[in-house]
Structure 1
Amino acid sequence: MQNLLLAAGLGLRSEGKKLLLPYRGAPLVHHAVQQSLLADLFTVVVTGYRADEVRAAIEDLACDTLLIVHNPDYEQGQGTSTRVGACHLREAESFFISLSDMPLIEARHYRHLARYATHTAVRPRYKGRLGHPVLLPPSFLSIIKNQDGPFAMRSLLSSYEVQAIDVEDEAYILDIDTLDEYRALVASGRPPQSPPS
């Protein structure tokens, strides 16, 4: 299985800093990539804004199952980065789409969702709110690659059947968009939660 990990956004609400902020002794983006690799996922990281710094932050994780690609059109939105990443995924495998600003996502969260892989899209749902990572069948690769211009995955997925998996772990919806959210996370000293059931 594989993972398209988005790390290209401007992060305007965090002054462009969020992916490089320290978390558990390393930048947020490092944590995201490391957990993907620990889940035994072929991982494609899509960079954009501050690409050189993001690449440097994860260079120690270099391995045969990590590929870093760049989206020159990252300012046009997340859909363009998703399309760039999709072009580097393996054609016959299911794949996750995940975000680099979700610090509580760990390898076990990927493994939990992987048990529900079907021919439909799969998303975790926490207290009625859909989260990430999203798990998609191989057929979605061509759908994403054929999108013309900027697009939003949320809108694209609304046209297809999505299987919502109810979870009891906030990790699936907690992202860091602002510096205040980051400070709250650090101040909480939040320990890892119980494994998803």
Structure 2
Amino acid sequence: MTGLEDDRAPGAPRVLGLILAAGHSRRFGSDKRLADLAGQTLLAATVASLQPHVSSTTVVVRHGERPESLGLPAQIDVVQAPEAPIGMGVSLASAVTELLASADPRHQRCEALALMLGDMPAVHSETLHALMAQARCDVIVRPRYQGMPGHPVVFGRDFWPALAALDGDEGARGMLKRYQQHVVVLEVNDPGILGDVDTPDALSSFK
């Protein structure tokens, strides 16, 4: 078990954390997932920030990668993206397809998944707690800071089949428009929801 499911409050929504980490860091100039942040990799720091707030955690990695090579515990759940570099939408769809087909009870009983990028280590714990508390099967919960939407986005299980049908490189952005009547916006005082790390200079701001 990779999350802290047994410590969650009785009746709390069961949310699976899904972290996308199969990109190629072209703007960063090297593999930013391995960049050092306080003695651990950037990806490991992001995973560690989310884990206490979800019932289990799955990380989407590149084809053929092992979690240990990314600074992650060997026992963490990973899904390998398709071998061909065919975009974030396809990587996400592939991962959600596996989750829908999973016989793992941790996956079967989840009401929602929290979709997070692998380079977002600074989202406040209070924000994550508030997002997971809003999770339901029939809503999409999205945080917003000073008018700007961010991550993680919590997709109720009713929307997983649509995630599994995504294509291309857009990710879930189009879905948020398509199902906007089901989107719950959570206003937060947390710039961390916007803080993905695209350059070394951006990483230095977290140190």
Tell me how far apart the structure 1 counterparts of residues 40 and 29 of structure 2 sit (CA, whole Å): 19
How much has 1:156 moved relative to structure 2? 2.1
Tell me how far apart the structure 2 counterparts of residues 61 and 23 of structure 1 sit (CA, whole Å): 20
Aligned alpha-carbon RMSD (Å): 2.2
Kept after mapping to 2: 8 A contact 1:34/1:61: no
TM-score, scaled relative to structure 2: 0.78
Tell me how far apart the structure 2 counterparts of residues 50 and 17 of structure 1 sit (CA, whole Å): 16
Structure 1 pair 86/182, CA: closer, same or farther in 2 (3 Å)? same
How much has 1:98 moved relative to structure 2? 0.5
Kept after mapping to 2: 8 A contact 1:102/1:174: yes
Counterpart AA for 1:5: I
Tell me how far apart the structure 2 counterparts of residues 74 and 140 of structure 1 sit (CA, whole Å): 26
TM-score, scaled relative to structure 1: 0.82
- Secondary structure, aligned partner of 2:85: helix
Residue 49 of structure 2 is aligned with which of 35, 39, 50? 35
Counterpart AA for 2:193: Y
Structure 1 pair 59/131, CA: closer, same or farther in 2 (3 Å)? closer
- What stretches of structure 1 move > 6 A for 4+ residues in a row? none
Kept after mapping to 2: 8 A contact 1:98/1:133: yes
Counterpart AA for 2:27: R
How much has 1:61 moved relative to structure 2? 6.0
Report % sequence identity: 27
Residue 132 of structure 1 is aligned with which of 135, 138, 151? 151
Tell me how far apart the structure 2 counterparts of residues 24 and 50 of structure 1 sit (CA, whole Å): 27
Tell me how far apart the structure 2 counterparts of residues 110 and 61 of structure 1 sit (CA, whole Å): 25
For structure 1, which runs of at least 5 residues remain unmatched after alignment? 187-197
Tell me how far apart the structure 1 counterparts of residues 144 and 42 of structure 2 sit (CA, whole Å): 23
Tell me how far apart the structure 2 counterparts of residues 182 and 145 of structure 1 sit (CA, whole Å): 31
**Equivalent residue number for residue 72 of structure 1:** 82
**Equivalent residue number for residue 174 of structure 1:** 195
Kept after mapping to 2: 8 A contact 1:44/1:67: yes
Write out aligned runs for 1:87-166 (5 A). Answer: 87-89=97-99, 90-93=107-110, 94-105=112-123, 107-118=125-136, 119-148=138-167, 151-161=170-180, 162-166=183-187
How much has 1:110 moved relative to structure 2? 2.2
**Equivalent residue number for residue 103 of structure 2:** none
Kept after mapping to 2: 8 A contact 1:76/1:150: yes
- Secondary structure, aligned partner of 1:88: helix
Tell me how far apart the structure 2 counterparts of residues 41 and 106 of structure 1 sit (CA, whole Å): 18
Tell me how far apart the structure 1 counterparts of residues 84 and 177 of structure 2 sit (CA, whole Å): 23
Tell me how far apart the structure 2 counterparts of residues 31 and 150 of structure 1 sit (CA, whole Å): 25
For structure 2, which runs of at least 5 residues remain unmatched after alignment? 1-14, 100-106
**Equivalent residue number for residue 21 of structure 1:** 35
CA deviation digits over 1:98-152, x for unaligned, max 9? 0110120255432220121232211000000000000011011111112355543
Counterpart AA for 2:73: D
CA deviation digits over 1:42-97, x for unaligned, max 9? 11100027934x542344362xxx31111124622211111122123335521110
In the alignment of these two chains, the number of paired residues is 182
**Equivalent residue number for residue 69 of structure 2:** 56
